């Protein structure tokens, strides 16, 4: 079933903008620089890198449990990309997810 998009509502844009501004106020300038270029592919790559590091240390965890997370994020990205089209917000959605994975899995 293809994903259908329609016009983005003004309240939807406002909610995303306010969340972005609040997050932007809470991170340091160094973190903000990192956040600005993060993609969903970066999040997936970070999980793979973490898995490889854990394997090298013989501390591998069941990383397959993350597969449903990435499937869900893929579906989520289809709608959120429409809301964030033409804005700087999208990388700021993926960067905290990447950060959380890094903190939790290391």
User: Does some domain include residue 47?
Assistant: yes
User: Does some domain include residue 18?
Assistant: no
Mean pLDDT confidence for 57-82: 84
Residue pair 3/79 in contact by the 8 Å Cβ criterion: yes
Q: Which of 4-8, 15-19, 87-91 has the lowest mean pLDDT?
A: 4-8
User: Does some domain include residue 101?
Assistant: yes
Q: What is the pTM of this model?
A: 0.73
Number of domains the chain is built from: 1
Question: Is the confidence at residue 106, as pLDDT, over 70?
Answer: no
pLDDT tens-digit profile of 31-67? Answer: 888 888 899 999 999 988 888 888 888 887 777 788 8
User: Does some domain include residue 6?
Assistant: no
User: Does some domain include residue 59?
Assistant: yes
| Enclosing domain of residue 56 | 29-105
């Amino acid at each position: 079933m293809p994903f259908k998009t329609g016009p983005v509502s003004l309240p939807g844009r406002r909610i995303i903008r306010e969340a972005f501004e609040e997050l932007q106020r809470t991170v340091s300038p160094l973190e903000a620089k990192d956040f600005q270029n993060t993609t969903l592919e970066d999040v997936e790559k970070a999980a793979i890198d973490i898995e490889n590091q854990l394997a090298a240390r013989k501390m591998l965890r069941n990383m397959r449990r993350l597969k449903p997370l990435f499937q869900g994020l893929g579906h989520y990205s289809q709608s959120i990309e429409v809301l964030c089209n033409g804005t700087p917000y999208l990388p700021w959605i993926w960067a905290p997810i990447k950060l959380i994975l890094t903190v939790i899995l290391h």
